[in-house]
Amino acid sequence: MNVPVSRLAEETGFQIGRSDNITRDELKFTKFVQRLRKKFSVLFQDMLKTQLILKGVIAEEEWHTIKEHIQFDFLQDGYFTELKNTEILRERLDMLGQIESYVGTYFSKEYVKKNILKMTDDEIEDIDNQIKDESGGEDMGADDGMFAHNDPTKGDK
């Protein structure tokens, strides 16, 4: 059933550690579970359609518009996801630290936010607003909060 051997061995057992300890078998198993979830989503949707039509809640013609708004959310492995997200953020911040002296010379602040930190436009706007709120309403401008110490007009901080 594609269950990794490491989960079946009694002496080792399954352990969650750092995400770099996840084996290839574990990744294949995760993809297998995701494929099963997709197949079951179709099955669940078909059963829901049958139930709603038989109970008279909707007409069969209405189903095509309704089914577009139905989605199934399955639980994820929260610990692994959190660990992986933390490592991704750590790597992005490390890269940011490595190129920080080049910001304003070779890289724009916007480029760093979008391509190094992988922030969306909405995230950039939200964070800029949060920084403005936390600074007591002082308008720092769209990018003045980040790398302000590299701005020669502001002096060293």
pLDDT tens-digit map of 60-117: 999 989 988 998 888 776 556 677 788 889 999 999 999 999 999 999 999 999 999 9
pLDDT of 143 above 60: no
- Find the range with the poorest average confidence among 28-37, 39-48, 120-129: 28-37
Residues above pLDDT 90, as percent of the chain:
44
Distance from C-alpha of 63 to C-alpha of 54, rounded to nearest angstrom: 12
Distance from C-alpha of 84 to C-alpha of 90, rounded to nearest angstrom: 10
Taking CA atoms, 22 is separated from 19, 35, 75, 76, 83, in Å, by 5, 19, 19, 16, 11
Name the band, by pLDDT with cuts 50, 70 and 90, for residue 154: very low
Beta-carbon contacts of 5 under 8 Å, excluding residues fewer than 6 positions away, are 25
